[in-house]
Amino acid sequence: MNSNATNEENIKNDRDLARAMAQVLIERAKAMPEAVEEEEAVPENAPRIVFGHDIVGRGRVSWTIKGVVPKRGIGAIYGPSGSGKTFFVISMMAAIAEGEEWYGHRVKKAPVFLAALEGVVGISQRVEAWEVHTGRHFPDAAGVIMNSGLDFGSKKSVDKLVDDILSNTEKGSTPVLFIDTLAQACGGLDENSPEGMGAAIKVIQDIQRRIDGVVIPIHHTGKDTSKGLRGHSSLKGALDFSILVNRTNDAGEEAEKDVRVWLLDKAKDGRDNIGQNFRLKGIKLDEDEDGDEIWSAVAEPIETGELAPQKAKEEKPLDDVGRSLAWIMETMVKPYEFSMVAPSEHPVLRMTLDRYKELGRASNIGTKDAERSGRSMVKKLADKGLIQFAYESGEDDNGTLVIWLPEIKATIGRKAEQR
C-alpha cells in the first residue's frame, strides 16, 4: 500500500472516531436533566436576552465571609513558606464554623473542612493552640480530613473526598473546603505546565460543583514572591478570589518578626486590595517526656484597623494561550453553559459562532476578525494538547465543534496514553 493510500485511511479512521465520539456526547446530552441556576429557578418564559435597565436586579453575590469569601466559587490562600498560612486558615475555619465576625467582616455559619495532605501532627497542635488561647473547644462544624490521600490524578481519591464532605454536610448547606496543599494534591501533575495546571484546575472545579460550596487550595509563591502564585498563570485566571499571606509589606520592608499581613489581591465580585495585619502569638501547649516545652502559635488580629496602604503587586499578564484557556474553563463550568457531558461526566463546550467571537476577543491575539481569531486559537490549543475537540456532524469546518479538556486517563474508542 502506498503512502497516499495509508494517509487517506488514517484520515478516514480519525474522522470515524470523531463522529463516534461526537455521537456519544450527543446521546449523553439528551439524557441530561435540565440545569438549574444555583440561586433561583429561571421561569420558563424568561427572555434569554435582557436589555438596558432590565439587566439590573438579577441577584447579588452571596457571601460566607462578607467581601472576602463567596458562598460558592474557587479561591486560593498563598504565600511563601513560613508565612503562617495554616495558622491563618485555622482562625478562618473557626470563624466560619461558629459564624463569628472575622477581622471585621460578617460571617455566615457554614460547615468547613481542611483536607490535610502534609503536617497532620502540626495541624493537630495548631488546633490545640487555638483551644488554649480561646479557652473553648474547636467548633464541631469544623473538620480536618486526616491523611486524606487526595490525589488529583486519582478519580477514586477525589470521589472519596467529596463523599466524606457530603456525608457530613446537611442538605442545603454550602460547605467550605481548604486543601493543604495544592502541590501535594497535584501528585504527578506538573503545576508549571499548562497541561498539568489545567488538569488540576479541572479537578478543583469538579469538586466545587459537586459539593456546591467553595474550594480554597493553600499554595506557595515561587522564589520571587512578587510574581504571585507558583505554577502556571492559568491558575490565577481560574480563581474567583485569592488571599496573599506574607511576612513583609508591599514596600518590601521587613516587618516585625511575628507580624504578618493578609491581602485580598483578587476579588472577582467585590473590592480587592483589602486586608489586615495579624500576629503569630506563641502558645505553650505542654512538656514532652524530657521536660522540654512544646509550643505552637495562633493567628491573632492586630487591632489597628486595616493594614497600611498596600500597592497591588504587578502581575505578569496572561499570554494569549493563558487567556484563551481561562475563558474556555470559565465558560465551561457554568451550570447553564453545560450543553453536553463528555465520557466520565466531564464538561463539554459547544462552539457556536458567538462563542468563537468571544474566544477571539478573550485571546486578544491581534486580528480584527474575532471569529477567525477564535477558530485559530482552538487549533492552537489543540496542537498544544490543552484541549480536545470533535465535530457533531459534517466534516472539518462544516459541523458544530465540541471542546473538552483532555482526560488524565481516558478511553474513548481506543486507549489513550496518560498525559
- pLDDT, tens digit (0-9, with 9 covering 90-100), for 314-361: 555 667 888 888 888 777 655 433 334 334 455 678 888 888 888 888
Residue with cell 493553600: 218
Cell of 312: 497591588
Q: Which helix (H) or strand (E) holds 324?
A: helix 320-333
Is 146 found in the same domain as 281? yes
Task: Answer yes or no: is 10 within a domain.
Answer: no
pTM of the model: 0.62
Residue 139 has pLDDT above 50, yes or no: yes
Is 76 found in the same domain as 128? yes
Is 127 found in the same domain as 41? no
DSSP secondary structure, 283-300, as one string: EEEEE-TTS-EEEEEEEE
Burial of 252 (0-12, 13-18, 19+ CB in 10 A): exposed
| Amino acid letter for position 2 | N
Is 128 found in the same domain as 242? yes
Is 180 found in the same domain as 95? yes
Task: Answer yes or no: is 8 within a domain.
Answer: no
pLDDT in tens, 166-186: 999 998 899 999 999 899 999
pLDDT in tens, 379-414: 888 888 888 877 766 555 556 778 877 753 333 333
Residues 148, 309: Cα–Cα separation, whole Å:
39
Task: Answer yes or no: is 413 within a domain.
Answer: no
Q: Which residues contact 250 (CB under 8 A, 6 or more apart)?
A: 263, 310, 311, 313
Residues 303, 209: Cα–Cα separation, whole Å:
37
CATH code for the domain of 99: 3.40.50.300
How many distinct structural domains can be found in the chain?
A: 2
Is 260 found in the same domain as 334? no
Q: Using the 8-state DSSP alphabet, how is residue 11 labeled?
A: H
Residue 417 has pLDDT above 50, yes or no: no
CB neighbourhood size of 286 (10 A): 11
Cell of 248: 513583609
Q: Helix, strand, coil % (nearest 5) of the chain? A: 35, 25, 40
Q: Write down which residue in 252, 271, 301 finishes a domain.
A: 301
Domain range spanning residue 256?
A: 63-301
Is 327 found in the same domain as 205? no
Q: Write down which residue in 239, 268, 301 finishes a domain.
A: 301
Classified as helix, coil or strand, 384 is coil
Phi, psi of 196 (to 5 degrees): -65, -45
Q: What is the dihedral of CA 27, 33, 38, 39, to 10 degrees?
A: 140
Residue 255 has pLDDT above 70, yes or no: no
What's residue 379's pLDDT? 86
Our measurement of the distance from residue 133's CA atom to the centroid of its chain's CA atoms, rounded to an integer in Å, reads 32
Residues 324, 327: Cα–Cα separation, whole Å:
5
Task: Answer yes or no: is 5 within a domain.
Answer: no
- Going by their DSSP bridges, the two strands 274-287 and 259-267 should be labelled as antiparallel
